[in-house]
Chains A and B, each alone.
Chain A
Amino acid sequence: MNAVVVKDLVKKYGRLVAVKGISFSFSEGMIYGLIGPNGAGKSTTLRILATLLEPTSGEAKIFGLNVKKDKDKIRKIIGYLPEEAGGYKYLTGYEYLEMNAKIYSPDNYGEVLEYGALLTGLGDRLYDRIGSYSKGMIRRLLLARALMNKPRLAILDEPTAGLDVIHATQIRRMIKNMVNEGVTILLSSHNMLEVQFLCDELSLINNGEIVAQGTPEDILKDTGTDNLEDAFMRLVGNE
């Protein structure tokens, strides 16, 4: 079954057209990447799929549910991680996860909370206030929040942006493991090497338009390059 189907999606902010009629789809159980530079339209697309923004035109469906009409149903099956998000600095990490577990899984929140706490890997620091966490710790907490309920689709906007190598590797490992738990992942990144490592399939996006689609291997083959960065540069005509 298709996890996500996006067809001719357009999003305008006043006169600015952020997304110019993009289309892509992918199946359940995959890690799918939207790759491109800053301002390419990745975050806008993910925000539309996360039901935060309304599409100006076109269609977007998650497991057959329409982002315009079935917002409440979609919110029950997704986990969303915004780019560069922070936390509530006066709550402890544990209290934050507890709130989320109670909202998403009121019947078995204890179990979900325990799993979320394990996912963070924060140990005793989970009982400290979020205000005292480093950037990497906050990112792990928020990723655990998005995944602890084992959503059908996790939408992760730049999950490793701004993190050092150690934290970024830990996050990538978490994402890979979640697929084995039955979670489908849609992520965005401007780190093309990371995507090459993580994603089963991807769309390269530039200036609101998709410039290439397929598996990393197919794109490399089509462009005659050996990494996605070179492939992207060749596709947008900067080389």
Chain B
Amino acid sequence: MSNLLVLIKKELKETVRNPRFIIFTIILPLILYPLMGLIISQAFTSVSEKTKTGTILVVDMDNSNISEYLIDSLNRSGLHVILRHSEPNISSLDSNVLGVIIIPKNFGEDFLNGARPTVTVYSVINGVSISEQGLMSYIFGIVGFMKETLKYLLAQMNGIDPNLISNPFTENRKIYVRNWGKLMTDQDLNAIFMQVMFWPWIMFSMVISVVQLSATFLGEEKEQKTLEILLTFPVRRTTILFSKVVGSGILAVLAAIFYTVGFLIYMNSFSTMIGQIGLTIQLSFDPVSIILTGLIFFLALLFSAALGLTVSVIAQDTKSAESLATAVIMPTMLVAFIVMFMDISSLPTYLQLILYAFPYTYLMQGLKYVYIGRYQFFIIGIIDNLVAAILMLSLISRIFTSERILTMKIRFGRGRRSRLT
């Protein structure tokens, strides 16, 4: 029994002191997942808040008893309904308008005659995200409520079971995306949504692979002590660093090329699908968008490579470098979550500034802007990524030209805490 305890103790020590255990068993579940949960709950709370305070614009072109009965039902259900009798300009609605329901002329008459009239419904959302998708469903849910109301009215009038009535009116669904200034069908939006959902994760996997790879570049040299030999070469330290940066840069260019090619294939598969199901939105993926996106890719990857090198400077060996790189890059996962679940423009200004100061936000948010060809977003992203890459490179350059390249170290485990000397 005592031998078993000794061996268990050894197993536990070995496991607990492994940096991967610290990162993936402690940091991830205790910090990252609660933060992700917070983002998701924040996203759905904001949807719930918007539905409480937002208004529904009902345009009654019919002015019949039936249309008035419907509007009265909506009011009685607690919705903030604003009544109008002429069609508004969708692009200049108040920011708290969540949707527009247009009851056409002769709606009441057609309904009573069983002609099944068509109601036009606009869901007005700010951008493309899971929370905005929730708002869209909310508006179309109100239309469902209107249908149920009329079913019961018709059943009452004719003394029949309401379940026997299938669809008292049809609806023409449209979605207006405020930040994009675009009107689209829900099929369009779903197609875009599918791409936007996965995009941040593709970018995250790209970034983490480049950071880890460049972290092992130097980590391995330190571990094998080939770095010591390299540093005694009759060559300037800045030349050695430059060779590392160019190596990482080539890695970044290759990654950017492969990811851009993959991205184009990805886009093309959706374009084919859009063509097949007859969607209306035009993807503005012109040469300028490709160049700007490629530039953001390149700079973000250069920043990633420099970040990886910096991490490896303070790590003592390859394992520490990889683990540290993973820990450093994990906050990017939160950005991916935010981009997926929320519309950044709906966040408080200070949070928007923090997010847009983070270079990877442009990479993850970029796809949404490709659709609308808003080039200024890419220009700001290029500047932000360029500044971040330069800052990171100058930091590593300062370390590289001093003896700290050999003496600065963080080693996980083997002691109660990481050591920095």
Contacts and interface: CB of A to CB of B under 8 A. Distances in A.
A83 B226 CA distance: 11
A82 B421 contact: no
A84 B232 CA distance: 16
Best-surrounded residue of B231, B236, B406, B421 (most CB of chain A within 10 A): B231
B161 interface: no
Contacts of A88: 224, 226
B228 interface: yes
Given A50-B232, A75-B233, A103-B233, A13 B407 contact: yes
B225 interface: yes
Best-surrounded residue of A52, A81, A104 (most CB of chain B within 10 A): A52
A94 B211 CA distance: 31
B406 A85 contact: no
Given A52-B231, A145-B229, A85 B224 contact: yes
Contacts of A80: 228-229, 232
Contact of B225 (A76, A82, A103): A82
Contacts of A54: 403
Interface string B214-243: 000000000111101101111110000000
B403 A53 contact: yes
A13 B228 contact: no
Interface in A109-123: none
B335 to A, nearest CB: 34
Contacts of B225: 82-86
B240 to A, nearest CB: 11
A210 interface: no
Instruction: Please classify how large the interface on chain B is, using the bins under 10, 10 to 19, 20 to 34, 35 or more.
Output: 10 to 19
Instruction: Please classify how large the interface on chain A is, using the bins under 10, 10 to 19, 20 to 34, 35 or more.
Output: 20 to 34
A47 B403 CA distance: 10
Contacts of A13: 407, 421
Contact of B226 (A14, A47, A72, A87): A87
Contacts of B407: 13, 53
Contacts of A83: 225
A52 B226 contact: no
B224 A87 contact: yes
A54 B406 CA distance: 11
A72 B234 CA distance: 6
A51 interface: yes
A29 to B, nearest CB: 22
Given A80-B228, A85-B224, A52 B233 contact: no
A87 B235 CA distance: 19
Interface in A180-233: none
A52 B232 contact: yes
A86 B234 contact: no
Nearest to B228: A82
Given A85-B224, A86-B224, A51 B232 contact: yes
A78 to B, nearest CB: 7
Best-surrounded residue of B233, B234, B403, B406 (most CB of chain A within 10 A): B234
B234 A53 contact: no
A75 B232 contact: yes
Contacts of A82: 225, 228-229
A145 B421 CA distance: 31
Nearest to A149: B234
Interface string B238-258: 000000000000000000000
Interface of B: 223-226, 228-229, 231-236, 403, 406-407, 421
Smallest CB-CB A-B distances: 3 pairs? A86-B224, A85-B225, A75-B234
8 contacts: A52-B403, A53-B403, A75-B232, A86-B224, A87-B224, A87-B226, A103-B233, A142-B229
